[in-house]
Structure 1
């Protein structure tokens, strides 16, 4: 059985990836905070309070799953973040052209 080729990362590429990842995480957190502030102003019942709690619990679960910085799967993560407008391809400038092409292609689906 032939194993897939491992993707290698230079130190510079790892630094670029980590910075871009951090920026995308910050944007996602800001979105949740904005939603929380907007929704909190309209809480007038216990039911609305628990609905907001459920939203926060769901977002925490989603973000913990989405924002997992492991180089083995980071190209998929970046493609997903680009697709969700949490990351711009330009923020990944400096990565190998093949990595950028894969991210760009995967972000289209």
Structure 2
């Protein structure tokens, strides 16, 4: 059992959280790949090429900041991922009701 900022995580909850996090990360990566494929097909100038480079650099920065698996802040991460449709609440089934209600409430804002 892991305790994080006064929230206790059982081994099974931690496994659920890690699996959900991994799924959401995969979805985010696939979204970026889809955008890159779409944009790459229409590159015809150096400026368009550098715009794609800038997009990738920005996405890398955003994802590295967003996808930080530390239990002390993971409820906020999950809420953001639910809000952005990268994670479904059902993928967090098995977390205790208090954690789920916090994630659900925070995802509304």
TM-score normalised over the length of structure 1? 0.95
Residue-pair matches, total: 105
* Bigger fraction of residues in strand: 2
Provide the residue aligned with 1:10 in structure 2: 10
TM-score normalised over the length of structure 2? 0.95
The list of structure 1 runs, each at least 4 consecutive aligned residues, that deviate by more than 6 angstroms after superposition, is none
Residue 90 of structure 1: CA displacement?
A: 0.0
For structure 1, list consecutive stretches of 5 or more residues without a partner in the other structure. Answer: none
Instruction: Quote the Cα distance in structure 1 between the aligned partners of 2:102 and 2:51.
Output: 38
Provide the residue aligned with 2:89 in structure 1: 89
For structure 2, list consecutive stretches of 5 or more residues without a partner in the other structure. Answer: none
Instruction: Quote the Cα distance in structure 2 between the aligned partners of 1:47 and 1:77.
Output: 34
CA RMSD of aligned residues (A): 0.6
